[in-house]
Amino acid sequence: MLNTATSLISDVIGKDDQSSAFVYGTYSFFEKVINGVIIFFITAYFNKRQLPLKLISGLVPVLCSTFAFGLTYLGKVLYSERVVKLSSNSER
C-alpha cells in the first residue's frame, strides 16, 4: 500500500521537481499523524477484547489494498490517455 501511495504521489507531482520534497514531506507528516491517532483509538477502545483487534488487524489491510487497487485500476482505465498526453508534453 505504501508503494501504491508513493506511486500515486509521484504521478501527481510529475516533472515538477521544485515542490516534490514539500509534497512528499507533507504526505509523510500527515500519514504519521493520522496513523498515530488511529492506533491510539483502536488500542484505547479495543484493548480488552481480542476479537475486534484480530478483525481490525486482519481485515483493514486487505480492504485498504483492495480499495487502492480499485482506485488505481479505475485511474488507469479512465485517465491513461490523459497521462500519456501529459507525459509526452512534459518531455519536450
pLDDT tens readout for residues 3-61? 777 777 777 777 777 777 888 888 889 989 998 998 898 888 888 888 888 888 899 88
For residue 85, the enclosing domain spans: 2-90
Confidence of residue 88 (pLDDT cuts 50, 70, 90): low
In total, how many domains does the chain have? 1
Give me the pLDDT at residue 24, please: 82
Q: What is the DSSP track for the chain?
A: -HHHHHHHHHHHHTT--SSHHHHHHHHHHHHHHHHHHHHHHHHHHHSS-HHHHHHHHHHHHHHHHHHHHHHHHHHHHHHHHHHHHHHHHHT-
Assessment of whether the complete model's pTM goes beyond 0.85: no
Distance between CA atoms of residues 13 and 78, nearest Å? 19
61 close to 1: Cβ distance less than 8 angstroms: yes
2 close to 69: Cβ distance less than 8 angstroms: no
